[in-house]
Chains A and B, each alone.
Chain A
Amino acid sequence: MKGLIYKELFLGKKTYLGLLAVALGLAILGILVSLGIRYGNIQDMAADEVTRMFYIFVYATYGIILFTVVEGFFAIERDKVAGWRRLEYTMPITAKKQIGAWYLTSGILLVVSFLLGLINGGVMALMFRRTLTATMFKNMVIILLLAMVLFLVGMPQYQGFSFRAVTYIYTAIMMVVGMIFSISLNMEEGILWEIYNYVWKNAGRFFDGFLYLSPLIMPALFAVSFFLSVKAYQRREK
């Protein structure tokens, strides 16, 4: 198992380092902006605007780091292309072990991303002279859980079907939903507009509920996702 995790980390290092570099670049930009607010040309920026900037640099950087979860999907395709499965047959590696290694690697990466996000949040709070509140911490946890849900839902699908097919289907769905919503938002009427308004107004409540139920939802989702992934992996084997 240790070797498999090492393999995943080694092969994905370019993606991880690339994402880390982008996040670092954004963090440096945040520090520059905060210095600009203190000593530079944007000293007259309103307090609300400064707070908004602080939120942008905390959440955007965190979001970029969390993209490491997508690397798990690439890993499956990379192994398919490289013909890893043939080599795997000569080793004492079961489907459960292989899938477990992917889940564990992504879990480790998500935890590391969360910690890096917290460090970035602390630095930004220091630079922008704002407080990293309990609400912000809660939001970061919710974003982490949503990234986990994305991973757990996507993993069996990427195992079962080709990378291109799943990506195309999701992109198409997102584009259609985005188009329908943007049209309804522009019209400012109709059932979609009401749904959007309802979701927007109750988003906080929904996410809070999700957070409180996550100790129940996440293990169940993990078990289902793991089971389906192993089945899909074995089905492809046949």
Chain B
Amino acid sequence: MLGLLYKDLCVMKTWIRSLAIWCGLFIIAATCIPFSKIQVLQDANCYALVPGLVVIYAMLYLGAFYGQYVVIDEKRRWSGFVTSTPVGYKQQVLSKYFFTLVSGWLVVVAVMIGEILGGLIPGTVKGASQTAVTVFYLLMLYQAIDYPFSFRYSSKNGAKVRCVLMILLFYVFMIYILFGNVPDTYELFDYFTKLAAGEVQLPLYVQYMGVFLPYVTMLIFYLSYKLSCRWYLKGVENYEA
């Protein structure tokens, strides 16, 4: 598997480099923001939202990275070749899952370092690491659902299904916004800024969900790996030559 991971590192080096640069920028930004003269950043409520937004941006980038990461091996020839080697297709699938997990953790660690360095300066708002860990697990949960479909139907077809689902979700969201029992927008914004600043606590059931989230995610991640192994060879037929 080490060889496969090395191959992935070589093929995806441009993406990894830009991800590393971004992580470095976050560390620099986290230490520099308290000295900023930008008026918006000096406002405590807005500054409280900055770490969360930065983390979400990082995770979105990581999501795009994973999308590309599966595509690189979607070749019928490569799949046949890797299956015929002593490594086997199971190690191939495992390497994808392992790399996904490790790269996600590296981003979380970068955010933690940024927060620790930022924390040395008084006036820095904390909370980025917590948000990063939560978003990391949510992202892993998403990847755990996405990967088996990508392996079975190829990323191209998987993306079509995902697109349709996103559109349906958007319409459901719009119907809820237009006809559902929605709280006032300002109240909602106020609540999130207070939540980010640590002035209010999340509801109890959400806290419990947060406790079980890592265990549930890891369990689904493992089941997803098993399913991907089962579907891998069936999916090869959908790949390009």
Contacts and interface: CB of A to CB of B under 8 A. Distances in A.
Interface of A: 25, 28-29, 32-33, 35-36, 39-42
Given A40-B179, A41-B179, A41-B182, 17 more contacts: A25-B167, A28-B171, A29-B171, A29-B174, A32-B174, A32-B175, A32-B178, A33-B178, A35-B178, A35-B179, A36-B178, A36-B179, A40-B178, A41-B177, A41-B178, A41-B180, A42-B178
A35 B182 CA distance: 16
B189 to A, nearest CB: 17
Determine the main DSSP class of B at the interface with A.
helix
Determine the main DSSP class of A at the interface with B.
helix
Interface of B: 167, 171, 174-175, 177-180, 182
A28 B172 CA distance: 12
Q: Would you list the 7 A-B pairs with minimal beta carbon distance, nearest first?
A: A36-B178, A40-B178, A40-B179, A32-B174, A41-B178, A32-B178, A41-B182
Contacts of A28: 171
20 contacts: A25-B167, A28-B171, A29-B171, A29-B174, A32-B171, A32-B174, A32-B175, A32-B178, A33-B178, A35-B178, A35-B179, A36-B178, A36-B179, A39-B179, A40-B178, A40-B179, A41-B177, A41-B178, A41-B180, A42-B178
B159 to A, nearest CB: 14
A141 B179 CA distance: 36
A2 B175 CA distance: 45
A32 B178 CA distance: 8
Contacts of B182: 41
A110 B177 CA distance: 35
- Best-buried of B175, B179, B180, B182 by chain A (most CB within 10 Å): B179
A28 B171 CA distance: 9
Contacts of B174: 29, 32
